[in-house]
Amino acid sequence: MQEAYVNINGIPTHIFTWGRWIEESLNDVNEIVVCITGNPGLPGFYTEFGSTLQQKLGGGGANLPVWVIGHAGHDDPPESSIREVPQLSGNEEIFNLDGQIKHKIEFIEKYVPRNVKIHLIGHSIGAWMILQLLRENSIRDRVKKCYMLFPTVEKMMESPNGWVFTKIAMPLYSVFGYVFFTFFNHLPAWLRLFFIQIYFWMFAIPRQFVGTALKYSKASVAEKVVFLADDEMSRVRGLQREIIEDNLHLLKFYYGTTDGWVPVSYYEQLKRLFPNVDAQLDTQRIDHAFVLRHSRPMAEIVSGMIQQNLR
């Protein structure tokens, strides 16, 4: 595994790779896997998923490089870095959905050669972003297949979790959120670590993600995460039927059965609208936030999908 912060659309962006670093030559590579995270877009949550996926693909003889990119502003570089992420205020166009899509387009066009086919993985809102990327011919022409995992591509506000976010979480954050995160980050490091470990213990989250969670708890990061989520609620409404119909052969959907963001009814509606769509329901009770507890089984499932679509 290699990782570093690189400038994408003017924002220091945390990139994780397995198999080949983004600045290494891809002359001998025909296909590559690029994963766009959900929200929060901290790729540190995807390390076990990316590592397992690359191992499984290598075991099948494919040996595809796997790259994970998070969202602009969701992962600040170390304090020692000379590069800083701009503040949210006055830069909303960089951190909203449109800005995040431009961020992903620049990453692909800058680092993926045009002759290399891309297997695009989109988790949650990453799946919606993939639909927008397919509007760009320069991206669409080099996409081999898109794997839409627990895809929040419609009616986010109307989902059970969307209702909780808009009616309860967002009003609370508007009043107390920034103050809470600012106060939390002024606590001694050992005390912040203690509270996060307690939270992880309560929800059975592996301790390996404590470091990433500490980054997520920064006020400057949390506000951008919440800002993007709020934009999702207002923007991700009706299903974008025309994009899906035009790209049906490129899309593979994977829905959960216990998903508060994407109820099973959304899967059933998709199947009614597009009887030939490549979509399936999870059978292992994998969570929407699969990277926290189910990275390995999800990586095994996705590696099987990719192997079916190799040259």
Is the peptide bond prior to 40 cis by the omega test (within 30 degrees of 0)? yes
* 3-class DSSP assignment, residue 236: coil
C-alpha 168/C-alpha 219 separation (Å) is 19
3-state secondary structure of 8: strand
Strand order in the sheet with 11-18: 2-8, 11-18, 66-69, 31-36, 117-123, 143-149, 251-255, 278-281
Give me Rg for the CA atoms of the chain.
Answer: 19
Distance CA 213, CA 200 (A): 10
Contact 26, 113 (CB under 8 A): yes
Q: Show which residues are catalytic.
A: 124, 259, 288
Amino acid identity of residue 230, one-letter, is D
CB contact at 8 A, 288 and 262:
yes
Q: Which of 165, 290, 295 is nearest to 234 (CA)?
A: 165
How many of the other CB atoms lie within 10 Å of CB of 38?
Answer: 26
Element (H, E) at 172: helix 170-172
Alpha-carbon distances, residue 187 vs 182, 197, 280 (angstroms): 9, 15, 45
Pairing relation of β-strands 66-69 and 11-18?
A: antiparallel
